[in-house]
Structure 1
Amino acid sequence: MNNLIECQQVSYHYNSGKIKTPVLEALNLSISSGESIAILGQSGCGKSTLLNLLGGMSQPSKGEVHLNGTNLGQLSEDKITELRAQHLGFVYQFHHLLKDFSALDNVAMPLLIRGDDKQVALTSAGELLSKVGLQDRLDHRPAE
């Protein structure tokens, strides 16, 4: 498998006036294409910060984040957005589903937004839902 995401000596800190608060220090991480991971930890330990760095929504204070072999620190915001749309998917603890759409439609939505053919998007969404054991709930709405 190829590394889809790679962090090399990534550090991140927040600046508040003269106070520098470290969140991540010298993190090395590799995530292979097709691999599913879970990021767990106490509140405030840097989980959301890490997700923002992995998705190119924030830049590290030090180190490099590579997506599909490309250093995100060398790309424009538009190019990072394009790469994120093509190669990444995040599942957050608190999901925000569209209440008037089925599970299948909610999962297909990002694929349609990036321009995938509707039938291809629906087929892919169905396969993803099956992988997580929701094949019997494709037509259910979030409240059902």
Structure 2
Amino acid sequence: MNSSKSTQSNEDDDSKQNLNQITNSIQKTIGLLHELHLTVTSFNAASQLPLLQRLNALVAECGTMRTLAGNCNFQIPMEVINLIHYLFTKDVFNSCIAKNQITKSKMDAFKIADVSAKLLDPTEGLFFP
């Protein structure tokens, strides 16, 4: 009886340790994604090497996560995965809509400037000889 309690205790400790390792790996991955985002949004020729290093670190960390996931035996309800997918998709669409509106506004401003320039060119000589 004592050995079964000891075995169960060891399994619980291993499970908690695996969960902590996965949690740490997820946090590290999120940090790497943030660094990668900053590198990509401010990309120039000098940031090519850091970009490659961050990509390699992200791939390595994803491999670590995959290895750690093999040691875990818990299930995630499909509702949670569907909710995460929904929220992610909604965020991506909202981001695209916002960027589209900014781009549309810039294009509208260029069109207005172009039209006003075309309208004012013929009349320029009339008012300002």
The question of a shared fold, defined as TM-score above 0.5 by the shorter chain, is answered with no
Give the TM-score of the pair, scaled to structure 2. Answer: 0.23
| Larger gyration radius, structure 1 or structure 2 | 2
Give the TM-score of the pair, scaled to structure 1. Answer: 0.22
Higher relative contact order (CA 8 A, sep 6+): 2
